[in-house]
Chains A and B, each alone.
Chain A
Amino acid sequence: MFTALFFMMVVFLLALDVPGLLRQGLKKDLVIYALFMLLAIYLSMVQFYHWPFFNPFLELAAKIQTP
């Protein structure tokens, strides 16, 4: 359910931004936008499906906690 809602939100954002970029022929902007959107989707999948994720801050905090 939550994943479906998330993908609806992604589609909404794509519909909001991509047509304008295509119309203006801003290819570089489109590539950067796509890269950030893919990163956002990947991070969401990490959260939804508990994929492995290296969190340097948490590793450091755990080390500080147990000297």
Chain B
Amino acid sequence: MTRLTNIQLFCILVITMITTPYQVLAKLLAVTVAQHGWLAILGSILPGFILVWAYYYILVNSSRPFPGLLEEHCGTVTGKILGFIYIWVFYLVAVKSLVIFANFFLSNVLPGMPISILLIFIILPAFYALRKGLEASVRTVELITITGYPLAMLLLFFGLGPETDWSRLLPLGGFAVADLFYGILLVSTYSSFMIVVLTLGPFCHQPGNLWKWMFSAYGLFLLSTLVIAVIPIVTYGSALTSVQTFPAFNIARSTNIAGFIHNIEIILVSAVMPGVFGVLAIFWFVTCYSIQQVFGLQDYRIMVGPTAIMAGILAVLLVPNIHFMYIMLERIFPWIFITLFGLLPLLLALVIRLKRPKDLQPGMMAGNN
């Protein structure tokens, strides 16, 4: 069995949670809550901490990786049905990352390039990595996090030029509370991507110590999303940010430091591309692993081939253009993800708590401590 180090799991969580918000969250929050995106992020701290605690609680009280643990706690039939649903939702996240990547490239970097070629270039390395096994994918993700993440964040800070106006984050009043709650839901959607820990956590050397790494990853996620949401607002204002397709790219494009550091958008592209590879590879792995668990297969790797074809085709079929992509990202996908990655795990943690014998300490059921 492949073993992961805790730092590798931390890198996986960082990549899976931060890559998509880096591309789209600033616009989504600007559309939903205008300049109050940072308030939505602060508001999502508590729900996020509860969610992380729920994941950890489920992890230490289960003997099988997700979605196998659903059978353990909910019974075989319910567990299999839920597991089957989760296969497609994990797959949806993988396909969604492809859709965002393709639209990002087609609208900003290489307009007119055939989408099929673009998709092949991102699916092929992920296909190879998954066929080689979990270790290859995880080592790549570790490298991407260590090199790509600081670079991507640095490029955003470069955007704080002379036109920066911090008063654009104000006024505090004048927003609908319902919109703010929707903003919190949007941010929580991306923190719920930490659900991959339920599948990958059991592969770690010391699952009992994972809570430190999970909370660290969540802390980094909060800080990163704050930077991602605030910098476009103070640079462009909420009205302009809400009409841009990818605000982070525009920041990189307009960066000019003393006429010396400029035309750096290609560096942003080279930081985002591996990030997309990371999200795709991890959620694709979780999909294939879920198929293995639900159907009781010998090896998850045989499912990589058919799902590779489906991912490419679905990325084109499901979302016809960038306009519909943003409608889905804003109004449809958050409800699906928050229900299945947020509410259901919370319910599951509650079920485990109620079913657990009173004299048993947390963690003893899994024999992890």
Contacts and interface: CB of A to CB of B under 8 A. Distances in A.
Interface of A: 2, 6, 9-10, 13, 16-17, 20-21, 24, 26, 28-29, 32-33, 36-37, 39-41, 43-44, 46-47, 53, 55, 57-58, 60-62, 64-65
A43 B95 CA distance: 14
Contacts of A65: 324, 327
Given A55-B318, A65-B327, A37 B295 contact: no
Contacts of A47: 313, 316-317
B317 A46 contact: yes
A24 B320 CA distance: 42
Contacts of B352: none
A10 B291 CA distance: 20
A61 B324 contact: yes
Interface string B81-107: 000000000000000000000000000
B310 A40 contact: yes
Contacts of A39: 306, 310
15 contacts: A2-B116, A6-B309, A16-B305, A26-B298, A29-B297, A29-B298, A36-B306, A36-B310, A37-B305, A41-B309, A44-B313, A46-B317, A57-B318, A60-B332, A62-B324
B328 interface: yes
Given A28-B297, A57-B328, A64-B327, A36 B303 contact: yes
B310 A58 contact: no
Nearest to B323: A65
B297 A43 contact: no
Contacts of A24: 298
B302 A33 contact: yes
B306 to A, nearest CB: 4
A31 B319 CA distance: 30
A22 to B, nearest CB: 12
A62 B297 CA distance: 39
A32 B302 CA distance: 10
Given A29-B297, A40-B309, A17 B331 contact: no
A10 B332 CA distance: 32
Contacts of B324: 58, 61-62, 65
Contacts of A46: 313, 317
Interface string B312-350: 011011111000100110011000000000000000000
A61 B310 contact: no
Nearest to A31: B295
A60 B332 CA distance: 8
B75 interface: no
Contacts of B140: none
Given A17-B302, A21-B302, A9 B328 contact: no
Contacts of B316: 47
B310 A43 contact: yes
A28 B295 contact: yes
A57 to B, nearest CB: 6
Nearest to A12: B305
Interface in B291-308: 291, 295-299, 302-303, 305-308
Of all A-B residue pairs in the complex, the 10 with the closest CB atoms, nearest first, are A36-B306, A13-B305, A40-B309, A61-B327, A37-B306, A43-B313, A40-B310, A40-B306, A29-B297, A61-B324
Contacts of B295: 28, 32
Nearest to B309: A40
A61 B309 contact: no
Nearest to B297: A29
Given A10-B309, A32-B295, A43 B317 contact: yes
